[in-house]
A = this chain, B = another copy of it.
Amino acid sequence: MQIITISREFGSGGRELGKRLADMLGFDYYDREIIAGIAANKDLDARFVENVMDAPPVWQTVSLTYGHSFALPTVQTLQTDLLLEQKKILEKIAQAGRNCVIVGRNADIILADYLPLSIFVCASMQSKVKRCIERADASEQLTPAQVERNIKRIDKGRSRTREIISGGKWGDRSQYNLIVNTTDWQIKQLVPAVAQFAEAWFQQRN
């Protein structure tokens, strides 16, 4: 079985790259499905789950949105609980034995035993802001400065979560097989080259 994991800076196009890669290779694709699975198993709202796992600070949101449970655990306990649930879901995906691309969720760490090809996707702040604004719904008209603050907040959360899970530094070259900086690229033009990396990886791994 072949697993490709994609970690990414918010707005870098990592999700698009992952989706296109899965399409090209005929692999399954997992992204929001994992958060949705955690939310369903834990009877929580998916957006809340994403917030707790990805984007601290979350203290102020807990009492308002902590779903259907009557006990009100600390955020840390809750985060640990959700991370364990995420681990279960990722392992279930891997055990199904189908080739797949998994975006986010530190799947490269959690599924390290399956020897995934681990990719990190980044871009310049200017390029990320541009992409976010282009992709935004008409309803969410943010200024570039607001978008930049969002990007920084979300990536800070991802960075902290990775540290909790692996002790490793998010986005650091020591942590991944490949880092792709999408700044001056059209994502779709990158796909065949990344696919060839994947092919070489799974060939030599066997």
Where the two chains meet, the residues of A that have a C-beta atom closer than 8 Å to any C-beta of B are 120, 122, 124, 171, 173-174, 176-181, 183-186, 189-190, 192-194, 196-197, 199-201, 203-205
Is B203 a contact of A122 with CB atoms below 8 Å? no
User: Do B178 and A173 touch (CB < 8 A)?
Assistant: no
Is the beta-carbon distance between A178 and B177 smaller than 8 angstroms?
Answer: no
Least CB distance from A24 to B in Å reads: 13
Q: Which residue of B lies closest to A178 (CB)?
A: B180
State A205–B183 Cα separation when bound (angstroms): 12
Known contacts A173-B120, A173-B173; A189 and B184 CB within 8 A of each other: no
Q: A178's contact among B181, B199, B205, by CB below 8 Å, is which?
A: B181
Among the listed B179, B185, B196, B205, which residue makes an inter-chain contact with A196, where contact means beta carbons less than 8 Å apart? B196
Would B204 and A200 count as touching, CB distance under 8 A?
no
Q: Which residues of B contact A171 (CB under 8 A)?
A: 173
Q: Is the CB of B174 within 8 A of A122?
A: yes
Bound CA–CA A124/B176 (angstroms): 11
Chain B nearest CB, measured from A127 CB (Å)? 11
- Complex: A190 Cα to B124 Cα, angstroms: 26
For the complex formed, measure the closest distance between the CB of A62 and the CB atoms of chain B, giving whole angstroms.
33
User: Is A181's CB under 8 angstroms from B192's CB?
Assistant: no
Contacts of A203 in B (CB 8 A): 189
Structural contact, A193 and B200, CB atoms closer than 8 A: yes
> In the assembled complex, how far is the CB of residue A7 from the closest CB belonging to chain B, in whole angstroms?
11
Nearest residue (CB) in B for A204 is B189
CB distance from A25 to the nearest CB of B (A): 14
Q: Closest B-chain residue to A117, C-beta based?
A: B184
| CB-defined contacts of A197 to chain B, threshold 8 Å | 190, 193
